[in-house]
Amino acid sequence: MAKNIILGLTASIAIYKACDITRRLKDERFSVTVVMTKEATELISPIVFQALSGNKVYHALFAETDVWEIEHVSLADKADLILVAPATANIIAKISSGICDDLLTCIISATKAPVLIAPAMNDNMYKNKIAQENIKRLKGLGYKFIAPKEGLLACGKKGIGCLADVETIVKEAKKNL
């Protein structure tokens, strides 16, 4: 039986790499269910991930469904791993503070599965003392991180904050299952 990975997507420009992450996880025979923040849907259509994953894509906390279920709880329960890639400073701060104002943060709050976070953001945001404290706090609570790499950022300068390589993310996901 395939392990279930919830792939959380946030509004980082690195979201385009999540297409390859989804494909690679499927190649490894994982069942991938994509959960997008509202802001992430502004960058790329959920239909892309539905086609790549072969599963329904979730992106609204109070979406109408054909079946009665509390989605954030049912998704949290079926997860063997939650992978947030790319993870913005915003989502990391919300998780660290226990804020549950969207489907992804509610699922993370309700799960007993391991949570693996791959940050992707501007280097100033990544190095910000508050962001670093949020990461430190989450690590202390048992959340795992895949460090970003140095490279050309969306703003045009070089710095730390690029999403880790897809191969690294897939390898870490397998290791955390």
Tokens (6 digits) for 78? 């079926």
Q: Given CA atoms 165, 18, 12, 82 in this order, what sign does their dihedral have?
A: negative
Question: Which DSSP symbol is given to 11?
Answer: S
* 3 state SS of 42: helix
How is residue 122 written in tokens? 């501007």
Residues 168, 24 contacting (CB under 8 angstroms): no
User: Residue 58 carries which side chain, given as an amino acid letter?
Assistant: Y
- CA 30 to CA 93: how far, in whole Å? 28
In this structure, what token pair is assigned to residue 147? 């460090």
Q: Give the distance from CA 123 to its chain's centroid.
A: 19
Question: 8 has which bridge partners?
Answer: 35, 84
> Of the listed 19, 100, 106, 155, which one is catalytic?
155
Q: Respond yes or no: is residue 155 known to be catalytic.
A: yes
Question: What amino acid is encoded at 50 in this protein?
Answer: Q
Positive or negative: CA dihedral 124, 145, 106, 53: positive
- Residues annotated as part of the active site: 155
